[in-house]
A = this chain, B = another copy of it.
């Protein structure tokens, strides 16, 4: 209830959210924990446990009100707040994330691009001019940026993280395959495609 929600539960909430939005679109009023569980591949009990960390309650014998729970999740997950992000490292992955329309649905907009390569600065991607990293310091307060995306090579990542921290960013989404040293009050979410690939890779190898 008032406990801290575990990360695994938190990650399932957007899945439930999508299922609820689908239900709303189909004019279905109530969705059961069993149905929500199927969308995420977990048992109904898990869903109920996950939702027990929220304030919203279901109706015994009926299920959860799709519209109301979806709204609640929007608030809880912060989907409606406009989260503004700066992206540093405009390589292929960086470009893709800028052009990826999927983030907007979850309230994230990338509003500024940075790169230390002079061959890149000045150019434009998705209508945004690529700025030198030293411009970050002013841009963060000015544009009200609260998230930093690192899509630069591993060697450059720590230096970029330092610049982000210095500029006042408190949440970093790190796509570079390296561990970042940051102060305790800065949150880092590492996204390591190689780690994920390892699981697939190991499976494929075993398979023959």
Contact = CB atoms under 8 A, between A and B. Distances in A.
Copies of this chain, whole number: 2
A126 to B, nearest CB: 10
Contacts of A201: 77-79, 83, 106-108
Nearest to A201: B78
Contacts of A1: none
A23 interface: no
A40 B178 CA distance: 8
Contacts of A96: 92-93, 95-97, 99-100
A108 B197 contact: yes
A204 B92 contact: no
A76 B205 CA distance: 8
A27 interface: no
> How many A residues touch the partner, as a band?
35 or more
A59 interface: no
Contact of A14 (B97, B195, B207): B195
Given A96-B97, A189-B199, A199-B7, A204 B18 contact: no
Nearest to A76: B202
A39, A103, A189, A202: which has the most chain B beta carbons within 10 Å? A202
Given A13-B198, A15-B195, A40-B179, A204 B83 contact: yes
Given A39-B179, A106-B197, A179-B40, A10 B202 contact: yes
Nearest to A102: B193
A196 interface: yes
A196 B18 CA distance: 14
A193 B108 CA distance: 12
Contact of A200 (B13, B38, B97, B171): B171
Interface in A153-193: 154, 170-171, 173, 177-179, 187, 189, 191-193
8 contacts: A13-B198, A14-B194, A92-B99, A92-B100, A93-B96, A103-B193, A187-B200, A191-B196
